[in-house]
Amino acid sequence: MADVRKIYPRSGDKKTVYLKNVISNPNIIVGDYTMYHDTIHDPKEFETNNVLYQYPINGDKLKIGKFCSIACGTKFLFNSANHALDSLSTYPFPLFFEEWNLEKEKVTDAWDNRGDIVIGNDVWIGYEAVILSGVTIGDGAIIGTRAVVTKDVPPYTIVGGVPAKPIRKRFDEKVIEELLKIKWWDWTEEKIARNIENIKNGCIERLK
């Protein structure tokens, strides 16, 4: 049976980790069996290298579901990377409160706050994709290589490009509806193990 507590799920492979087991930041929540692969950096340094501008003062969260596959170089850009677009200047004056004699408590006025980043279950994020703050990616979605995701992605939808746009649905609406109802990722390990062949082979009828 799979061991969800492992850091390295593959013998001899130090480039792939179960992401949940290398996270210490309480504002990054990751589901069981979600994996991250990095051919350039140590994948255990995901928090430092891949989650950017997530300053504690803002309190924004990265939520990633179960059984996701995250490719090398994926970046999650949080709200503090933004600048206030309603301002007459994009210069972040509140960030330099000491220089300009401003209130320290209002430092978050320097950027637009668009909310958390939420990734569903069984999502595949391709090489060097970028996910922006406030984006929700639905269960079963696929994010193409080097896509820049600026808007929500519906479940089981493939997106790509800059900015990312829908390419196609992975399945017809009836199958998607059934998958979202079944939620196989919430099954017990034993039940998933019994049904792996059906999941791999697309046998939706046998999962009902």
Q: Catalytic residue numbers? A: 83
**CA-atom Rg of the chain in angstroms:** 19
| Helix, strand, coil percentages, rounded to 5, for the chain | 30, 20, 50
Cβ neighbours for 62, distance < 8 A, ≥ 6 positions apart = 27, 28, 29, 51, 54, 76, 78, 116, 117, 119
Closest residue by Cα to residue 62 from 50, 72, 73, 71 = 50
- Specify the amino acid at residue 175: V
CB atoms within 10 A of CB 30: 22
Residue 163 backbone dihedrals phi, psi, to 5 degrees: -70, 160
